[in-house]
Amino acid sequence: MNRPLFCSALLAAFTAIVHILAGGADVASPLLASSLPVAPKLTLYAVWHLVSATLALTSVALLVAAFPRHAIASRYLVLFLSVLWLGFGGIFIAVALMRPEEGLLLELPQWALLLPVGLLGLWGGMRSGASGQRGMP
């Protein structure tokens, strides 16, 4: 078992659960109750669900990739997913830093869960690539 990938998968699943439960109450419900016009409101609500699906499905993919028999076949997927999670975390940091005087890094703490998933994924992916290359001619 690739432990960094396994930890990445567990943290990704935890992040998905937090997003779905806490995000539903803190973000999705207020969004739906807002006075935004219907089209942007429902588009943003759909995007919230797209993110929910992405977080959940990538956690499953990282978990599958953590098993040795999938190491070689999944190494590029792991790299892609890791960069995706790092990108998600980077976006939250960039948005928060647009107004640093307001302390948004603490108000938008999602980056603190997103970046470790990506970093653990990269670490685990490097381990998979190294072990997978040993068996190749």
Q: How many CB atoms lie within 10 A of CB 90?
A: 15
Residue type, 134: R
Select the more confidently predicted residue: 25 or 136. Answer: 25
- The rounded distance, in Å, linking the Cα atoms of 32 and 95 is 22
Cα(75)–Cα(8) distance, rounded to whole angstroms? 14
Domains in the chain: boundaries: 3-131
pLDDT at 137: 31
Residue 13 CA: distances (Å) to CA of 5, 16, 114:
12, 5, 11
The pLDDT tens digits for 74-104 are 999 999 999 999 999 999 999 999 987 888 8
Segment 29-73, tens digit of pLDDT: 999 999 999 999 999 999 999 999 999 999 999 999 999 999 999
**96 and 104 in contact (C-beta within 8 Å)?**
yes
Average pLDDT (97-123) is 92
Of 6, 30, 23, 26, the closest CA to residue 124 belongs to 6
CA pair distance 59, 15, nearest whole angstrom: 9
What's the confidence (pLDDT) of residue 118? 98
pLDDT value for 8: 98
What is residue 133's predicted lDDT score, i.e. its pLDDT? 42
Point out the least confidently predicted range of 5-14, 17-26, 127-136.
127-136
Name the residue among 37, 67, 31, 33 with its Cα closest to residue 51: 31
pLDDT value at position 100? 79
